[in-house]
Structure 1
């Protein structure tokens, strides 16, 4: 059985009860047009897997949303390992949607620390931070939020006062990360997903109890943070969770010291003229160029090449965008001709889906002019 709160305060109370053995929670958002559809698809009246505390609907950015069933033990293991990595329990500021896993874990960590989470609501970021009481103070952001706070002197001062800031939900451009750290923000990048109770790899290093490995270049994760499975989908559960390991859809590299680097989703690879191009590699080059704030690289169909490399670029100053020729030359010099975008289009913002995730279908539609 599932309870389905939509208000942040109600979600906090429901999660608190679920961690203590109460009914499992399907957190929803009143602002999500899919909320009614998700409620029906998740069948609240049907039993959950044993021990389930929360069902999190995935973003559905590449297909139909799935319901990920997480136990109180998995949520607690993740929160405990996070606090151990960050230096101790603390109070958390919720700036992310409470119906996504990142928001759920902000609430869970704060509850387990015995300090109610601060709900930002309509407050400014600085005002919300000022209302926090500790003992240590944390928050989680997505890259777009960090970018905006770095441009706000008052927000940046509040950000620098926090003991740690987790950054996830989307790939973080290196210049943004370097700029935040240079400004004094104690920021750690996170990698994970709903199926791993949120971020389980911080700054490339798995949390205590978490293991990472590669199978044909695809990242697999294991540990006490893993979900129990997918709601009402035994076939999907059996395919994704095998012998204690969860097989992601992301390509990666593992260094000798165990540091994990994420190269991007395997199904995002672009095959142009028979050459495979990783969009993340092209994005890394483009976002490092002067005048570039954000980038998304996708494939578009092409009669000659099969797929062509296309880039949507958000300039720092829309009135003075960087030279397209210079951007293309930078990619060619670093990655070679096949990776060089054949189409570059400037935009004021990238379409988003979920907490900070770029809606790649939306980017493709924009680049096609539809």
Structure 2
């Protein structure tokens, strides 16, 4: 049998459709229910469904009055506050296209985005870096918009452009990934296929408001289901999360593996009576960490998922379908997934590239203004993820790593070419190579290897990286080498760099 999972497509998104209207569809039925609690050590800042709905629709009115029209783009340079999801959904409600970005990006990194997008406005918190050259709408102006009269939702074709996210492209240049309004419709397949989510749940996400993992799993999906979203206030120490989980009565906890690791390091035993299970995504969850969590919580499950910027999470384990052994899980019901070789789907059990069908409603429309690069990611009816896997006879998929040199930094995919291009401008560097290295069991960081007439000042290198790269892209180690390893054709062998790190560490 071939490695194809296909139990039929999901039902199509209704027409007309608006992503924000879909997310807040439960607001009229449960206006007084708490939609969001921002948790602090002292208490919580609570938002009802009616308050969120009014703020979103008022923001939509504010955008119109600011002269921004449906179809135009706004770049989001906002911090880790509730301003972020309200502005995001307010734009989508108005048919405007938001571009959420990490607040860690530098002025240099945002300059290329502004040049690419030509946004109608940049939504800006002055504490967040942004390049000049575009009109700005301040966070104070955004907050004032919330009390404006509600705008009607801009309804239309579910396949029209809804929002854009940036991913670190394999070419070394971040790519704008264009998604349709229908992308939110695809996320319903996660409710049973990963979350085990219902309206009765209270889902606490450990991430920041301005991280797309939090935006989807922590906010929009709970709201779509009519559940309550719980977010820890900015700067919360992971060691304090168990106390917040217990006090808030969270039934589901979502985080990246690194957060689970920090929690267990601080508290090897956890008393969380209301918690049903945890969710993990962003990077590969190790088997040891999984078992440690279950032991610490007295058997609470931990369910992993696989996705990417170009497609919503589509492979996962869940309470109804736990992963077997080291497998990720299986494609969610309604997804069509294959493991491809050079001649198409490979036999079950063989390694190949994980691919998702081009008709998946969560798949991107394409890379913005880059049709050739979009086409290069397709093989017939299949979108190639670039990740390797093997499918068992029961449909469960084991993750076998990347087929290229892409790195994972705290849940963000990072191209080594992008980091190398930034560091190459440092005075004295003649050649640079970047890769991901393991510093201890279950912990990996980005390391930079460079050639120069003599070793360079590491503090100066770190300061340069800090000025030119978002924190999650910055190398944590700089290693001077007499020469970088190359193949017969002179091409840099990034994977061979890891041996040099291990040698330097001994």
TM norm structure 1? 0.66
Task: Name the SS for the 1:225 alignment partner.
Answer: coil
Instruction: From the superposition, tell whether residues 29 and 251 of structure 1 become closer, same or farther in structure 2 (CA, over 3 Å).
Output: closer
Distance 2:248 2:275 in 1: 10
1:210 maps to 2:318: no
Match of 1:221 in 2: 356
Higher-Rg member (1/2)? 2
Instruction: From the superposition, tell whether residues 356 and 198 of structure 1 become closer, same or farther in structure 2 (CA, over 3 Å).
Output: farther
Distance 2:478 2:115 in 1: 26
CA contact (8 A) 1:97 1:355 kept: no
Instruction: Kindly indicate which of the two structures has a greater share of residues assigned to helix.
Output: 1
Any gaps of 5 or more consecutive residues in structure 1? Answer: 270-278, 280-297, 299-308, 317-352
Task: Name the SS for the 1:176 alignment partner.
Answer: helix
Match of 1:346 in 2: none
1:189 maps to 2:304: yes
Q: How many residues end up aligned between the 2 structures? A: 292
Higher relative contact order (CA 8 A, sep 6+): 2
Task: Name the SS for the 1:4 alignment partner.
Answer: strand
Match of 1:17 in 2: 90
Task: Name the SS for the 2:182 alignment partner.
Answer: helix
Q: Shift of residue 181 of structure 1? A: 2.1
Task: Name the SS for the 1:17 alignment partner.
Answer: helix
Q: Shift of residue 369 of structure 1? A: 5.9
CA contact (8 A) 2:92 2:98 kept: no
Instruction: From the superposition, tell whether residues 354 and 190 of structure 1 become closer, same or farther in structure 2 (CA, over 3 Å).
Output: farther
Instruction: From the superposition, tell whether residues 22 and 154 of structure 1 become closer, same or farther in structure 2 (CA, over 3 Å).
Output: farther
Q: Shift of residue 265 of structure 1? A: 0.7
TM norm structure 2? 0.50
Output aligned runs, 1:97-176, within 5 Å.
Answer: 97-106=208-217, 107-115=219-227, 117-120=229-232, 121-123=234-236, 124-130=240-246, 132=248, 137-153=251-267, 156-158=270-272, 161-176=274-289
1:42 maps to 2:42: no
Task: Name the SS for the 1:54 alignment partner.
Answer: strand
Distance 2:235 2:279 in 1: 21
Distance 1:54 1:39 in 2: 15
Distance 1:242 1:71 in 2: 21
Instruction: From the superposition, tell whether residues 355 and 267 of structure 1 become closer, same or farther in structure 2 (CA, over 3 Å).
Output: same
Any gaps of 5 or more consecutive residues in structure 2? Answer: 1-71, 122-157, 318-327, 342-351, 408-415, 417-434, 443-468, 480-496
Distance 1:40 1:186 in 2: 45
- Alignment RMSD (CA, Å): 3.9
CA deviation map 1:263-310 (0-9, x unaligned): 0111249xxxxxxxxx9xxxxxxxxxxxxxxxxxx9xxxxxxxxxx99
Output aligned runs, 1:1-370, within 5 Å.
Answer: 1-5=72-76, 6-7=78-79, 8-17=81-90, 20=93, 22-33=95-106, 34-45=109-120, 51-60=160-169, 63-78=172-187, 80-85=188-193, 86-89=195-198, 90-106=201-217, 107-115=219-227, 117-120=229-232, 121-123=234-236, 124-130=240-246, 132=248, 137-153=251-267, 156-158=270-272, 161-183=274-296, 184-198=299-313, 200-202=315-317, 203-216=328-341, 217-222=352-357, 223-241=360-378, 244-268=381-405, 312-314=438-440, 364=497, 367=501
CA deviation map 1:31-52 (0-9, x unaligned): 3223444343333249xx9522
